[in-house]
Structure 1
Amino acid sequence: MNKRAEERRKQVLRATLKAISEKGFSVVTLQDIADYADVSKGVISYYFENKEDVFYHLLEWMTDRIFQNEYAAIQKESKAIDKMRAYVNAAFKSPEDNRIFYSVYLEFLAQVNQNERFREVNSNFYKNCWFIGSEIIQKGKSEGIFTNIEVESGSHMIRALIDGCLLQWLMRDDEMLHSYYRDNCYDAIITYLNYKDS
């Protein structure tokens, strides 16, 4: 796919994200997406098979962007404890970004049981999240910290704490609490990992 075509697809996906976040998953139509993208419905049909295909690619694009951003953040740090802080900070990207992602993501999760393609993307997303957690724990083990944590279960729990804190922040509907939940999330993870600052 050439660069112009890829940019047009992303334009449609960004518009779909905005449309779902403002209108809700169940009521968004292809015409809505076209209107938000400022293109004709024919353009959308050229790049995607149908509305479900647009939604599938949106979920894939959103979750891949999050993984890439979070993984890039931990690569900038050398010590495990700094990688963990970078991971949490990247997950708590900004109130606006987190609100849009999680409000739309929750709509997708409501469809997962009925849609095999959505379920597959969601499964891949969590495998990527667990990969990040595993890499941090393994790094910590090599440094002589996080020694009492099993890598697989530990990586699952780290993501559970991140998502749980972000969802609770979302339910509180107060942007000012974003940093509060971010900092408490980090503290909860560090406590769980039984890390003691020497």
Structure 2
Amino acid sequence: MKRKAELKRQQIIKAAYQAVSDKGYESVTLQDIADYADVSKGVPNYYFQNKEDVLAHLLAQITDRIYEKEKLAVERETTSANMLLAYLNTVFVGPKENEKFYRVYLDFLAQATKNKRYREINERFYQNCSSISKVILEQGKKEGAFRTIDNEEAGRTIRAMIDGYMIQWMMTGDHMQHSAYRAACYRSVLSYIQN
């Protein structure tokens, strides 16, 4: 019974992701989420308190999954250069995936100024991202490849660079530029942390 309930919750969360991606945070209703999940209107209310609760679970889940993928990619590598490249390749996964995620994510960030729960989820995401950067920086320092730098500050700066390049790429509307922005981000991060 628990497994069936969890599958239904995941169906609703997945539908919410698609609905927000297509319609935008402000426009999405619980009815839309139910329609995307192909369930009756009352089903989301059975598993979640309200629209905000569904979307908070969505934000937590997508940011946790992204962090886990990025962390795993970095852990598979042994040199700082390869770790950084793996990190950025996992962030810049592909034009369609990145566009969909950032369209949803930016909607959440706009809401986070008014929503403490969303801010807390995003803060955890940024702390997780910072922990990935810390692992890469420590390895680079051991190798003598990276300069001595405050890991906390560097983690924030690296993520700001990543998000900045990603948003700039999205604003071009050109999927063909995706790899150029990934390469530019890599060069910028590297020039910031290299000896």
Instruction: Answer yes or no: is 1:12 the counterpart of 2:12.
Output: yes
Partner of residue 42, structure 1: 42
Instruction: Answer yes or no: is 1:181 the counterpart of 2:187.
Output: no
- 1:152-187 C-alpha deviation (Å, 9 max, x unpaired): 211111111111100000111100000000111111
Task: For 1:20, give the aligned amino acid.
Answer: V
Structure 2: how far apart are the matches of 1:192 and 1:174? 27
Structure 2: how far apart are the matches of 1:161 and 1:85? 14
Residue 150 of structure 1: CA displacement? 2.3
Q: Which runs of 4+ in 1 moved over 6 A?
A: none
Bigger CA drift: 72-81 or 40-49? 40-49
Q: Which segments of 5 or more consecutive residues in structure 1 lack a partner in the other structure?
A: none
Structure 2: how far apart are the matches of 1:155 and 1:45? 38
Partner of residue 113, structure 1: 113
- 1:87-129 C-alpha deviation (Å, 9 max, x unpaired): 0000001111111111111111111121110110011110001
Residue 58 of structure 1: CA displacement? 0.7
Percent identity over the alignment? 49
Residue 194 of structure 1: CA displacement? 2.0
Partner of residue 122, structure 1: 122
Instruction: Answer yes or no: is 1:55 the counterpart of 2:27.
Output: no
Structure 1: how far apart are the matches of 2:154 and 2:115? 29
Partner of residue 71, structure 1: 71
Residue 148 of structure 1: CA displacement? 3.0
What is the total number of aligned residue pairs between the two structures? 195
Instruction: Answer yes or no: is 1:192 the counterpart of 2:192.
Output: yes
- 1:34-73 C-alpha deviation (Å, 9 max, x unpaired): 0001111222112111111001101101111110110011
- 1:70-89 C-alpha deviation (Å, 9 max, x unpaired): 00110110111100000000
Q: Which segments of 5 or more consecutive residues in structure 2 lack a partner in the other structure?
A: none
Structure 2: how far apart are the matches of 1:2 and 1:176? 44
Structure 2: how far apart are the matches of 1:179 and 1:75? 23
Partner of residue 104, structure 1: 104
TM-score by length of 1: 0.94
TM-score by length of 2: 0.96
Residues 74-93 of structure 1 correspond to what in structure 2 (within 5 A)? 74-93=74-93
Residue 147 of structure 1: CA displacement? 2.7
Q: Secondary structure at the match of 1:20?
A: helix
Structure 1: how far apart are the matches of 2:148 and 2:135? 15
Q: Secondary structure at the match of 2:113?
A: helix
Task: For 2:26, give the aligned amino acid.
Answer: S
Structure 1: how far apart are the matches of 2:144 and 2:128? 25
Residue 139 of structure 1: CA displacement? 1.2
